[in-house]
Structure 1
């Protein structure tokens, strides 16, 4: 038992550069994770009346406003692995929000597109999202939002 206690109390030496970075960044990363979870939970709750969640809305919006048409391109754009994207697309297809068709150019390729119901779901979501956004971002100035945007881009481009 004392060996377990010894291991739990052990810390990297302070001269280790990885530890120094970790000690500085851990509070930020924890706060960022909590913020993402909270915003996602609020979006999920608000979107319940529309019948989708935040991740599903992200896929619908990617289909509506980006050039991604293949499951692989959508997975990369949304930030999930291709297998997960296939399962997410299965759910959206079963609900009539999108359709999959073989590409005319290359029959091995599947093109994904929104159905009329998918477009209507985006429109209904657009009536819910602004209030959630207003509530969550009300205490930020434009300068705060600009700075946060720059920092998040740096984190993503990292």
Structure 2
């Protein structure tokens, strides 16, 4: 059996491909899924303290980093489609953390900005939601290598599937 990213190998003589089942720990997707669930479980109680979900927190971090942003740009940065991002932004707006306004120069474009409350939440978030990089048990070099590999993997899968994000 050949998997993406491995060198193809011939099955041993007498081997029936139909009867082969891969174990869960052989799937990269399962390893990533497990790691993601573990990280989200660690972040959830920290984010609960400031009343945010992880995707909402990522939107705010992107706005802290880039300032006012178009919805389309936020979606691209966060790898979220419009149908996922819009309800997220509506909830953040209802909570008084962001505003959404159509651009005067092109009403098709919607710009998202932090409110004073959203900006003030940054200090609270920095105190309440520390980076959990230390919990991964990796050195700084390993963390950088991991991020590089994950970015390359994301780009490779996007290229393979024709996805744009």
Q: Pick the TM interval, shorter chain.
A: 0.7 to 0.9
1:32 aligned residue: 32
* Structure 1 residues 18 and 66: alpha-carbon distance in aligned structure 2, compared to 1, 3 A threshold: same
1:153 aligned residue: 151
In structure 2, list runs of 5 or more residues that go unmatched: 7-21, 157-165
2:132 aligned residue: 133
2:64 aligned residue: 64
Structure 1, residues 76-131: CA drift from partner, whole Å, max 9, x if none?
2111210111100000000000001121221222111000111122221111222x
Bigger share in helix: 1
In structure 1, list runs of 5 or more residues that go unmatched: 1-13
Aligned pair count reads 141
Classify the secondary structure of the residue corresponding to 2:69.
Answer: coil
Structure 1, residues 38-93: CA drift from partner, whole Å, max 9, x if none?
11222121111111121101001111213671222211211121011110000000
What TM-score does the superposition give when structure 1 sets the normalisation length? 0.77
Runs of 4+ in 1 over 2 A off after TM superposition: 17-21, 23-28
Asked if the contact 1:99–1:115 (Cα under 8 Å) also holds between the matched residues in 2, the reply is yes
Q: Structure 1 CA distance, aligned partners of 2:77 and 2:148?
A: 19
CA-based RMSD: 2.6
Classify the secondary structure of the residue corresponding to 2:132.
Answer: helix
What TM-score does the superposition give when structure 2 sets the normalisation length? 0.74
